């Protein structure tokens, strides 16, 4: 399986990167990603995954484009208001890179459909905007053994972590206590600056690309905390909990937790 002439030109500026290779590009092309949410994180994440050449990308979102989305969701443009986000994202990503397959899933990820949506994909990129969905995605990926990139963004802050189930800490290992509904303000209540979503979502794409290709070192057992206000990124070490209900051994005693490290 070799790269076509148009692929060699399309990806030429990443093919010349020292750490990259034609083999890495081919691994990307034979890989698949499922992006949960086509919003502030999903738009940049899916854009860079499609542009880089991930061969098959699913986009799961049941919302429609609203005027109040546009400041942070750059796949959705003013004429797209009212369109389904999954469908609109698929159209725009198809314009960006017709070499890859984009599959829209205009559905809400729930317990009833999570396994069916996520099974068989090579990496899941969780760009959802609720804790309930985030824990569900984490737990489903742990059960299926599917690598995952988790993230969250609010106001001027965000975080990213990469997860290889049963090899590195999962989201529930790092954050064992699921916040009660309403305990943490939502995007609607606390807002988000679009550029911060761009940074965090782009970082998710980078982590997914690393997981798919083996290039670089994924953010395993680390949480990257991004404080946009102070421009101070901070890597927080975390590790698997043997008693984690999602990825651990139910008979084991508690270990692990979160410890603050020197800034990366």
Q: Of the two residues 196 and 223, which places its CB atom closer to Zn ion in the complex?
A: 223
Contact predicate 137/124, CB 8 Å:
yes
In the complex, what is the shortest distance from the CB of residue 190 to Zn ion, in angstroms, rounded to a whole number?
A: 27
Spatial neighbors of 165 by CB under 8 A, at least 6 apart, are 141, 142, 144, 145, 146, 147, 148, 247
| Least spacing, CB of residue 200 vs Zn ion, in Å | 21
Length of the chain: 264
Q: What separation in angstroms does the CA of 67 have from each of 63, 74, 257? A: 13, 12, 40
Cβ closest to Zn ion, residue 187 vs residue 223: 223
**Is residue 158 a contact partner of residue 152, using CB atoms and an 8 Å limit?**
yes
Give the shortest CB-41-to-Zn ion separation in angstroms.
Answer: 21
Q: Which is nearer to Zn ion, 100 or 173 (CB)?
A: 173
CB of 165 to Zn ion, least distance (A): 8
**Do the bridges between strand 222-227 and strand 32-36 make them parallel or antiparallel, or are there none, so unpaired?**
unpaired
Question: Is the Cβ of residue 82 or residue 245 nearer to Zn ion in the bound state?
Answer: 245
Residue 148 or 192 with smaller CB distance to Zn ion: 148
> What minimum distance in Å lies between the beta carbon of 172 and Zn ion?
5
Residues 34, 179, 194, CA angle at the centre, nearest 5°?
55
**Beta carbons of 263 and 233 less than 8 angstroms apart:** yes
Contacts of 6 (CB under 8 A, 6+ apart): 99
Q: Which residue is nearest to Zn ion (CB)?
A: 244
What is the separation of C-alpha 52 from the centre of its chain, rounded to a whole number of angstroms?
Answer: 15
Interface residues with Zn ion (CB under 5 A) are 170, 172-173, 244, 246-247
């Amino acid at each position: 399986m070799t790269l076509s002439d148009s692929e060699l030109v399309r990806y030429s500026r990443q093919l010349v990167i020292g750490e990259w290779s034609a083999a890495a590009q081919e691994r990307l092309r034979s890989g698949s990603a499922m992006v949960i949410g086509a919003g502030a994180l999903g738009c940049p994440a899916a854009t860079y995954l499609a542009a880089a050449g991930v061969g098959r990308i699913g986009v799961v979102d049941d919302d429609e484009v609203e005027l109040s989305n546009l400041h942070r969701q750059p796949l959705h443009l003013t004429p797209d208001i009212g369109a389904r986000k999954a469908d609109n994202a698929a159209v725009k990503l198809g314009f960006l890179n017709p070499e890859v397959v984009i599959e829209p899933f205009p559905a809400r990820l729930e317990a009833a459909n999570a396994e069916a949506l996520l099974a068989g994909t090579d990496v899941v990129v969780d760009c959802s905007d609720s804790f309930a969905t985030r824990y569900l995605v984490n737990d489903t990926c742990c059960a299926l053994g599917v690598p995952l990139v988790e993230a969250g963004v609010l106001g001027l802050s965000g975080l990213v972590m990469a997860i290889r189930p049963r090899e590195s800490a999962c989201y529930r290992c790092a954050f064992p206590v699921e916040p009660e509904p309403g305990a943490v303000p939502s995007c609607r209540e606390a807002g988000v600056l679009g550029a911060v979503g761009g940074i965090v979502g782009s970082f998710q794409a980078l982590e997914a690309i690393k997981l798919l290709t083996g290039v670089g070192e994924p953010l395993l057992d680390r949480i990257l905390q991004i404080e946009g206000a102070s421009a101070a990124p901070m890597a927080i070490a975390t590790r698997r909990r043997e008693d984690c209900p999602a990825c651990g051994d139910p008979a084991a005693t508690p270990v692990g937790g979160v410890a603050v490290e020197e800034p990366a």
